[in-house]
Amino acid sequence: MFVTLEQTDVAELHQFRDPVTGLRALIAIHSTRLGPALGGCRFLPYPDEATAEIDACRLARGMSLKAAMAGLPLGGGKAVIMEPDKPYDRAALFRSFGRAVESLGGRYITAMDAGTEMSDLDQVARQTRHVRGSSADGMDPSPFTALGVYTALQVASERQLHRQDLKGLHVAIQGLGHVGRRLAMMLAWAGARLTVSDLDEARGMALAERLKATFVPPERIMQVPCDVFMPCALGGILNADSIPRLDTRLIVGAANNQLASLEDAHHLQDRHILYTPDYVNNAGGLIALTLHHQQLGNETVRRKVKGIGRTLRHLLNDAERLRVSPAIMADRMAEQRLHDARERAA
Ligand code: NAI
């Protein structure tokens, strides 16, 4: 019962079930040492409960590390809702989830994530104020996430590919949702050559046509020979099976938990592929949600999000100096910050 919590160092895992709406949700709180646990809510057709539990716990830990690395006064949490396999009323289901969030009294604050839309958060907001990114604040974090990932790409491509700009760079993007689609547009604007993919082939092909990009089916995107591979779909895709087949020199993406395990960071290093840690790249949305809530204007928020570039530069320098992978270096730095916060609180 406690295995996943122990493996991910998660402090609390709350289960919610509402037989009326069909809600089956988990809220994992990794830590509230630095502040309330803010993290998005996923809404996906999970194959089983164990997968949902692991997803919630791993993602919650990632949120703690992300907030700590970005220097934000937040803890880490995450919610997953298992999409019902029977017909359901989506609005009622999200209102039911809102009541679950409310019951935690503000220790967990929810937001958008894979499979959820602002309209879902509007339903959540009818039941609780512990939500960011509903129409009430009008804050869509995705453009800021994309901006942060783009900034990380600029820093990493300068280091790994010795490129001052992105013109002509061949970039393969996996996933054209809220973040991937924006990144594709920014990269097309910068003159990059794009190969893209999405499970929704019709939508992906339409975007590819607009951007003069090449569309490939989902099963091919990870083998495309390219300068940069950008994972912007789901986690666990960098694993023992996929890493030997990659044909790239750099991985910079938005997806959470891209590495199936920390061991895979070594495998990427062995192949001389630079991997920039997901939770460093993709902190832009979290930074924006936090600063926007503090009433800071868009320009300040954009400047802070671009600070991800500086964080990444420091991280890559330290990783090189200590001869460890950037993924391990990031975990060490973030965990040290959480440890220091615990010591201060003791
Ligand atoms: P989304 O749900 O809008 O988009 C994901 C896209 O990936 C969908 O279009 C889906 O069809 C596609 N996809 C799924 N599996 C695929 C596969 N095997 N091959 C190709 N395409 C596939 O999600 P969103 O918001 O764009 O987020 C993407 C990732 O970034 C997620 O892992 C999310 O947790 C992470 N993230 C998102 C943030 C945000 O501000 N939206 C913030 C931080 C992280």
pLDDT score for 344: 75
CB distance 204 to ligand 1 below 6 Å:
no
pLDDT score for 186: 98
- Give tens-digit pLDDT for 53-85: 999 999 999 999 999 999 999 999 999 999 999
| CA of 196 relative to ligand 1 center, distance in Å | 13
Which helix (H) or strand (E) segment holds residue 122: the answer is helix 118-125
- Give tens-digit pLDDT for 302-328: 999 999 999 999 999 999 999 999 999
- A 10 A CB-CB count for 47 gives 9
| CA of 150 relative to ligand 1 center, distance in Å | 15
CB distance 116 to ligand 1 below 6 Å:
no
| Residue 131 DSSP one-character state | B
| Residue 84 DSSP one-character state | P
pLDDT score for 140: 87
CB distance 256 to ligand 1 below 6 Å:
yes
Sign of the Cα pseudo-torsion (80, 83, 89, 91, in order): positive
Q: 23 pairs with which residues across the strands?
A: 18
- Written as six digits, the tokens of 204 are 């992906």
Asked if 134 and 94 count as a contact pair (C-beta separation under 8 A), the reply is no
* DSSP of 207-260: HHHHHTPEE--GGGGGG---SEEEE-S-S--BSTTTGGG---SEE----SS-BS
Which helix (H) or strand (E) segment holds residue 23: the answer is strand 23-31
Q: Which of 44, 55, 63, 178 to mutate to test the pocket of ligand 1 (most atoms within 8 A of CB)?
A: 178
| CA of 198 relative to ligand 1 center, distance in Å | 9
CB distance 231 to ligand 1 below 6 Å:
no
Sign of the Cα pseudo-torsion (115, 334, 252, 149, in order): positive
Sign of the Cα pseudo-torsion (157, 161, 162, 165, in order): negative
CB distance 257 to ligand 1 below 6 Å:
no
pLDDT score for 180: 98
| CA of 238 relative to ligand 1 center, distance in Å | 15
Q: To 10 degrees, the CA torsion angle through 125, 308, 225, 176?
A: 20
Pick left, alpha or beta for residue 35 (phi over 0 → left; psi -120 to 50 → alpha; otherwise beta): left
Note the CATH number of domain 142-336: 3.40.50.720
| DSSP-derived 3-state class of residue 12 | strand
Q: 186 pairs with which residues across the strands?
A: none
Indicate which residues carry an active-site annotation.
78
Regions of the chain with pLDDT less than 50: none
| CA of 231 relative to ligand 1 center, distance in Å | 8
CATH 3.40.50.10860 fits 2-62+74-125, yes or no: yes
Q: 42 pairs with which residues across the strands?
A: 80
Q: Which of 232, 258, 287 to mutate to test the pocket of ligand 1 (most atoms within 8 A of CB)?
A: 232
Q: To 10 degrees, the CA torsion angle through 142, 148, 154, 159?
A: -130
CATH code 3.40.50.10860 region(s) in the chain: 2-62+74-125
Stated pTM of the model: 0.92
CATH code 3.40.50.720 region(s) in the chain: 142-336
Select from 78, 62, 111 the least CA-distant residue to 327.
62
Select from 184, 171, 154, 152 the least CA-distant residue to 70.
152
